[in-house]
Amino acid sequence: MNFPTKMTVLRIILSIVIVILLLFPFHSIGITFPYIKCWGVLISVQYLIAGIIFVIASITDFIDGNYARKHNMVTDLGKMLDAIADKMLVNSVLVVLAAQGIVPTVVAVVVIMRDIIVDAIKMEAAAKGKVVAAIKSGKWKTATLMTGLTLAFISNFPFAIWNMQVATFLLYIAGVLSLISAVQYFVLNKELIFPKN
């Protein structure tokens, strides 16, 4: 297991830690997390810790792929684990935060449905010996989604000071970009999905 793959495994572990931190009934064992107040904005320490872990996990996603490509360490195991780690990190956080009313439910549904569609296209391409390249709308979707989720963890700070719903705005933009990228992936690969012969 090379360095990029170890980073990917770390992301999987961190994803599990985040879910446990957000869902475990700490109050039942006498643990309560305080709130901190920053310029009038209340931020839960529990969600602040989860947000910091989320940012660290997101950074590993950037590091492992770039390092693997730069040092020619791309492996089938690494690619498989990377796909699993990405979905575990983002989709689990989306589901939990949507269930808790922090993230718009429609965004979580759209993003997860988009991932299912794109993954199905990529699997069909792989079965036919072809690689589906990443597209710009997909990369922008990821950037806006990660930023929006990070802000959601910390109560939209600092933008909440001025009552600017930047976190929600970015999450909706991510939802729109998810739809756009799903359509683009389909259009670019429709001949692969529905061969003429």
User: What is the CATH classification number for the domain harbouring 36?
Assistant: 1.20.120.1760
Containing structural domain, residue 79: 3-193
- Does residue 62 surpass a pLDDT of 80? yes
Q: In the prediction, which pLDDT does 153 show?
A: 98
Q: What is the mean pLDDT of residues 106-123?
A: 93
What is the torsional sign of CA 32, 157, 181, 105? Answer: positive
Our count of domains for the chain comes to 1
Q: What is the mean pLDDT of residues 119-132?
A: 81
- DSSP 8-state secondary structure symbol assigned to residue 84: H
Q: How many whole angstroms separate alpha carbon 128 and alpha carbon 140?
A: 28
pLDDT in tens, 66-109: 787 888 887 878 788 888 999 999 999 999 999 999 999 999 99
Contact 178, 114 (CB under 8 A): yes
Q: What is the mean pLDDT of residues 130-146?
A: 87
Least-confidence region, from 52-61, 72-81, 109-118, 165-174: 72-81
Q: pLDDT-derived band of residue 197, with 50, 70 and 90 as boundaries? A: low
Q: Is the pTM of this model over 0.85?
A: yes
Q: pLDDT-derived band of residue 41, with 50, 70 and 90 as boundaries? A: very high
Q: How many whole angstroms separate alpha carbon 120 and alpha carbon 68?
A: 24
Phi/psi for 41 (5° steps) reads -100, 125
Amino acid (1-letter code) at residue 128 = K
Query: Other C-beta atoms within 10 Å of 157: how many?
Result: 19
Q: How many whole angstroms separate alpha carbon 154 and alpha carbon 42?
A: 9
More confident residue, 128 or 106: 106
Q: How many whole angstroms separate alpha carbon 75 and alpha carbon 31?
A: 42
